[in-house]
Amino acid sequence: MTRQQILDLYFMDARARLIDLAAFMDRVERADGEDDFRMSAFREALKELEKGNPDRAKRVLLSFSDPSSEPIERAPGKGAIGAYPHTK
Amino acid sequence: MRYIEPHGHMVSRTTDDYQDMALAGCAAICEPAFWAGFDRSSADGFYDYFCQLTEHEPKRAAKFGIPHFCWLCINPKESEDTKLAEEVISLIPQFLDKPTVLGIGEIGLNKNSRNELKVLELHVEVAAKHNQLILVHTPHLEDKLKGTKLILDVLKNDKRIQPERVIIDHVEEHTIQLVLDAGFWAGMTLYPESKCTPARAIDMLEVYGNERIWMNSACDWGMSVPLAVPRTALEMKKRGHTAELIDKVIYQNPLQFLQQTPRFKLL
């Protein structure tokens, strides 16, 4: 497909998702209290979008990932959170 | 259109879903054993579940003309209790001769713990000993990259395991290359929130090629879409992909992998 055809197919969807992201950030910042490592990870991931690399999706996923390599001693539960607390 | 649903947890779905899948051209459904949403209290619960997968669910599917196959294991979400896991794994061999059992799955890791790794190795041992195909679950979200690497290490370190007989599921943009480069098959799971969307799955096909790749809905009791595979086929058509390529990805590729066991037979 040409770039124009890709835009025709996906621009409106991407536009809607981008506005949703903006509204999400506004919603978080309007709310009382502190945010946590998830929002820090989110902001770091957003930076990947403007770097101009051709593999943005991969880089965003990597930025949210646990970078360690050793298995943990015991599973703390079953669920995943979506971001890794890099400062822990 | 014809397609194979290579990963669907139909015990969690309604009969209406079977009907919709049949209408959409589903030629076969493969159901890996998984977590029920709660921890089972004993191995007896798994025995009943394995009976459900090998005896009852094929009958439900047959009412809509769809062959139903399954994979057996204790899911990584229940692998922290290694005593229970060992008991469950000891039950599996008696089911391996059932006519619709494809192999061992979906095994793998969830939180990347030492016990989960131990249970993964026990499953791999059963698969190697009984010459079974393997279907691997990779962890969710922030745990996926690390878990995929740990899983690949386990599989590559066991020289009895042939990569072409293993599918590593739920790949995303940051793990697909690792899986394909190691010679394994890669599964892309089409979920509305996590894993990947139809558009991203097609992106990956365009970037990484269409060999040793399949797509699945992994429909279960959570947010999931039983018709995700045919919907993605429609998206491929919108993107200008040919009918031949669509058929390869949603039918021929899973057929190629699954036919490595003589138990996988289409009507």
Instruction: Scan for tokens 């943990």, then name that residue.
Output: A72
At residue B133, the 3 state secondary structure works out as strand
**Type of residue at B211:** E
The series of mean pLDDT values per 10 residues for chain B, 267 residues long, is 98 98 98 96 97 98 98 96 97 98 98 98 98 98 98 98 98 98 98 89 98 97 96 98 98 98 94
Beta-bridge partners for B185: B167
Interatomic CA distance for residues B74 and B119, integer angstroms: 9
At residue A70, the 3 state secondary structure works out as coil
Question: Which residue in the set B112, B140, B203 is minimally distant from A71, CB to CB?
Answer: B112
Distances (CA, A) of B230 to A45, B139, B196, B217, B234: 31, 25, 15, 10, 6
Please state the ipTM of this predicted complex. 0.96
Interatomic CA distance for residues A37 and B190, integer angstroms: 27
State which H helix or E strand residue B70 sits in. strand B68-72
The tokens for B93 are: 């061999």
How far away is chain A from the Cα of B46, in angstroms, using its nearest Cα?
Answer: 19
- Please write the tens of the pLDDT for every residue from B38-93: 999 999 999 999 999 999 999 999 999 999 999 999 999 999 999 999 999 999 99
Among B135, B128, B131, B5, smallest CA distance to B57 is for: B5
- Please write the tens of the pLDDT for every residue from A61-86: 999 999 999 999 999 999 999 999 97
Q: Would the CB atoms of A77 and B111 count as touching at under 8 Å?
A: yes
The tokens for B101 are: 């059992």
Please list the pLDDT of chain A residue by residue as tens digits (88 residues). Answer: 999 999 999 999 999 999 999 999 999 999 999 999 999 999 999 999 999 999 999 999 999 999 999 999 999 999 999 999 975 5
Interatomic CA distance for residues B191 and B196, integer angstroms: 6
Residue B97 φ/ψ, nearest 5 degrees: -90, 0
* The pTM of the whole model exceeds 0.95: yes
Instruction: List the domain boundaries for chain A.
Output: 1-33, 34-66
Identify the contact set of chain B against chain A, taking CB-CB distances under 8 A. Answer: 35, 77, 80, 110-117, 139-146, 149-150, 172-174, 199-200, 203, 238-240
Q: Could you tell me the domains of chain B?
A: 3-258 (3.20.20.140)
Q: Would the CB atoms of B112 and A58 count as touching at under 8 Å?
A: no
Interatomic CA distance for residues A44 and A64, integer angstroms: 9
Q: What is the pLDDT of residue A17?
A: 96
Contacts with A69 from chain B: Cβ below 8 Å: 146, 149-150
Q: What is the pLDDT of residue A87?
A: 58
